[in-house]
Amino acid sequence: MDTTLQDPLVGQVLDGRYRVDARIAVGGMATVYRAVDTRLDRVLALKVMHPTLATDGSFVERFIREAKSVARLAHPNVVQVFDQGTDGSYVYLAMEYVAGCTLRDVLRERGALQPRAALDILEPVLAALGAAHRAGFVHRDMKPENVLIGDDGRVKVADFGLVRSVDTVTNTTGAVLGTVSYLAPEQIEHGTADPRVDVYACGVMLYEMLTGDRPHQGDSPAIVLYKHLHEDVPPPSAAVPGLAYELDELVASATARNADIRPYDAVALLAHARETRGALGEDQLDAVPPQAITSEHLHADDLTSVIPRALTLPVNEDEPEVHRTSRLASPPPLPPRQRSAQSRRRLFTVVAAVLLVFGAGAGIWYINSGQFTRVPPLVTKTEAEARDRLGEARLEVGQVEHAYSDTVKRGSVISTDPEVGERIRQNDSVTLTISDGPQTVRVPDVEGYRLDRARSVLKQEGLAPGMVTREFSEDVAAGFVISTDPGSGTTRRSGSAVALTVSKGSPVEVADVTGASLKDARAELEEAGLKVRVAPEQVNSEFDKGQVARQSPAAGSGAAEGDTVTLTLSKGPEMVEVPDVVGDSVDDARAELEAAGFEVDEDRGLLGLFGDTVDKQSVKGGKTAPKGSTITIEIR
């Protein structure tokens, strides 16, 4: 049975624009559909947040952040985001549709890949991430599920939903977001998220492509976390004998547990990957790996998860205080009898807590104590709903500010201060910023303004000066605005472009100066208000040397005052040797002379009325004459 038929969105039109045709995939946070933009008549992918999560401001905020972040990345290997919006309880992203499969699909079907194929996939992934890193973003959730391979072979990176600024560091009382098998040690231990966490994840993916399996595995996510922290990623050649040591070095470099010795971003790793490719021979690149045994089921650690990072528990006085779940979540051997019951209970509690989070798929693990609480999720809530939620959390409403927003509906919360999730004392106040909806601007009347002044006025009003088109005008002086598109008084969203039509002044008819001397031609054109430029090259023409052979614009064209007319001077006619046609028939003589570039005139007189033989020619054969000139032949 086609399960998409049971999906209530299939067959519906979302937001009055996107017709949902089929369900493509279901993830932990959203479902992806194939849809058609009915306005532009194009197929696209629609990523719709699960309605149960759409009520959580933090998830909605992440969705909006994805749209804004990816919109800034104009790169052929990044899945484009076209639009973002809401329709009732549905929050969606409209994205580029890539017909094909994911890298996960390829690995499940084929297992290990040849080194050439692995590098062919890795390099465009790194190019996409490199663009993100240089733009100031970190993906933070790189995994095979987020690598799309189109039917045409193009590779694209998707799902920037966890993207953050390069300098973002998760608060130590917060949570680490990501997928367990691809998390870098510093993500687990410190919550840091700079470009090197993406480098680490790509190193793990490369290992998986070369061997067909993940480097760190275990019966639980806690065991995998422990291995990321305490065990190096093994060389791929240990699993697939015969792989080149350069590939081992590339994986080791990318997955170094010490982030300081990894390539500093994806651009640097891309350079290393290309060096590795260049060092391998054809046989090494095309080495056929043994068939890997892969699971047909989704691993629990394939899913993006929320990992608690601040479970601080009592410890013995002679032990350091531990603040990282990952350190305590190690898979221990059976404890000796001498181990204290307190230590066993502490270890069991922490491991159980980690497994509980992953097993239940729960949200962020908050630790509240005493008089402290956390700012609840309020983004996209109405002001009334936000006030109620703050009251339930024993918090006060502070200042209420307003701002324009292109993504949050009018009357809903854009942001809070302190931010959502921050620890705050009970009864403290929270400042709300409420959306006034998209800022709209009335296009000012700039007709009759000089172009520079018109541009300045548009910018002052929050609009962008757009394309400038120049036209002749009998009424508006040159350099001044004739009209705008959209016209003055029209309402447009802030930042929209306004096209300007600028006058070139009254048209000036360009005189015909061909055949004139340069002095006379210049004087006539400048008197009409035009400028003169002399072309550096000269050409052969019918005119004498030094006379004007060509002009641009042509005679009779319209030009604006101050426009430039380019004059090309003659170097005289081209001289051509005249063929000797005396004694030839008239037809043969005409053909030969015309082929040489001459015009032909016949002189028959009284005696040649019925003749057909050339008796004389005006220029004797072997002499030269200007090409294009006329040769007269006498006929007897």
Question: What residue ranges in 79-238 does DSSP mark as E strands?
Answer: 81-87, 90-96, 100-102, 137-138, 147-150, 155-157, 164-165, 175-179
CA gap 208, 282 in Å, rounded: 21
* Residue 141 annotated as catalytic: yes
CA gyration radius for the chain? 39
Measure the CA angle with vertex 593, ends 590 and 599; round to 5°.
85
Is residue 514 helix, strand or coil? coil
Catalytic: which of 2, 37, 141, 406? Answer: 141
Half-sphere exposure at residue 186, Cβ-oriented, CA atoms within 13 angstroms: 21
CA gap 336, 340 in Å, rounded: 9
Which residues share a beta bridge with 531? 564
3-state helix, strand, coil in the chain (%, to 5): 30, 25, 45
Half-sphere exposure at residue 431, Cβ-oriented, CA atoms within 13 angstroms: 7
Q: How many residues does the chain have?
A: 636
| DSSP run (H or E) holding 19 | strand 18-26
CA gap 116, 124 in Å, rounded: 13
**Inter-residue contact 509 to 558 (CB < 8 Å):** yes
User: What region, left, alpha or beta, does residue 576 occupy, with left being phi > 0 and alpha being psi -120 to 50 degrees?
Assistant: beta
Which residues share a beta bridge with 150? 100
Residues noted as catalytic:
141
